[in-house]
Amino acid sequence: MTLETTSWPSSYGEAAKPRMGFFTDTSVCIGCKACEVACKEWNQVPDSMQGFTGNSYDNTIDLGADTWRHVAFIEQRVPAGVLDGASLVEAVQRGEAVDGGVQTYQEGDGFRWLMASDVCKHCTHAACLEVCPTGALFRTEFGTVVVQEDVCNGCGYCVPACPFGVLDKREDDGRVWKCTLCYDRLKDDMEPACAKACPTNSIQFGELSELRERAEHRLAHLQGAGQQHAQLYLADDDDGVGGAGAFFLLLDKPEVYGLPPDPVDTRRDLGTIWAATGAAALALGAGLAAAVWGGER
């Protein structure tokens, strides 16, 4: 079944809820960072001042233990929504940029500004959850992935297992933290704080099947308007993580936004890994026996 994860909905039976997620349409993100602020306030995430980076307006830097939403800012010299090479000013005058539905461009001579609010992907095949030795990471009834703070012992295994670099350890606390997709708010039929705060509906929250349908329309609009590089990211079940609960509409390649172009759940290679590990253990046994009974040399 599409959207199905390893332990949702099967392990919840009647208690399973529809799989919920985010569709982040970066083409209408204005870089206001309301999502970052709302997330911090609601989830009481500690401050994460890391100084002034000089990387456009991005001083949040990346996702981590204390940054569960991160707005990326990319500055490019690419005329926006303009097929004939006209300047952006001309395109704006002709209404092309607006018709293209792209509102993320600063007025100017072909300067394009990409903004995107990144978040935990709540993968269908979540490596963090699979490698967690304590079971602190679990799949909720909404199909999302959440760390139980009363179970996590800070072993750190999920940190390098995540192909997106989402999880990290909070140093003074010792445990790992990440986006919960506002599990507490979902329990009370409320939408996550970031989606609630987003003024342009760049962050859309809802049932994943519905969001995917909405995203297909949006992609068709943008492609039809000449946005040839518009692309849906993590919107299909057959990619390396089985698709994600939080997926994106991007206007350039994923790596431009700091996202991996082909993330893969490490569990897919676990069979090979255990086989090699077993073979090496047997070889070690044989080597020890050979050393002990190896003759007189």
When the beta carbons of 109 and 149 are compared against another protein, the nearer one is 149
Query: C-beta of 53: minimal distance to another protein in Å?
Result: 8
When the beta carbons of 87 and 231 are compared against another protein, the nearer one is 231
The rounded Cα 151 to chain-centroid distance in angstroms is 24
Query: C-beta of 61: minimal distance to another protein in Å?
Result: 7
When the beta carbons of 44 and 272 are compared against another protein, the nearer one is 272
Q: How far apart are CA 69 and CA 45, in angstroms?
A: 11
Q: Are 270 and 278 in contact (CB under 8 A)?
A: no
Helix, strand, or coil here: 293? coil
Q: Are 219 and 101 in contact (CB under 8 A)?
A: no
Query: C-beta of 16: minimal distance to another protein in Å?
Result: 18
Query: C-beta of 244: minimal distance to another protein in Å?
Result: 8
Phi and psi angles of residue 143, each rounded to the nearest 5 degrees, phi first: 80, 10
When the beta carbons of 15 and 292 are compared against another protein, the nearer one is 292
Q: Are 226 and 100 in contact (CB under 8 A)?
A: yes
Q: Are 253 and 127 in contact (CB under 8 A)?
A: no
Q: How far apart are CA 230 and CA 219, in angstroms?
A: 7
The answer for residues whose C-beta is within 8 angstroms of residue 279's C-beta and 6 or more apart is none
How big is the chain, counted in residues? 297
- Residue 135: CB atoms within 10 A of its CB come to 10
When the beta carbons of 77 and 297 are compared against another protein, the nearer one is 297
Can you name the residues that pair with 115 across neighbouring β-strands? 73
Query: C-beta of 109: minimal distance to another protein in Å?
Result: 23
Of 201, 194, 179, the C-alpha closest to 26 is 201
Query: C-beta of 260: minimal distance to another protein in Å?
Result: 5
Query: C-beta of 289: minimal distance to another protein in Å?
Result: 6
When the beta carbons of 58 and 141 are compared against another protein, the nearer one is 58
- Element counts in the chain: helices (H) and strands (E): 9, 10
When the beta carbons of 98 and 109 are compared against another protein, the nearer one is 98
Distance in angstroms between the alpha carbons of the first and the last residue of the chain: 62
Query: C-beta of 114: minimal distance to another protein in Å?
Result: 10
When the beta carbons of 87 and 200 are compared against another protein, the nearer one is 200
- Residue 124: CB atoms within 10 A of its CB come to 24
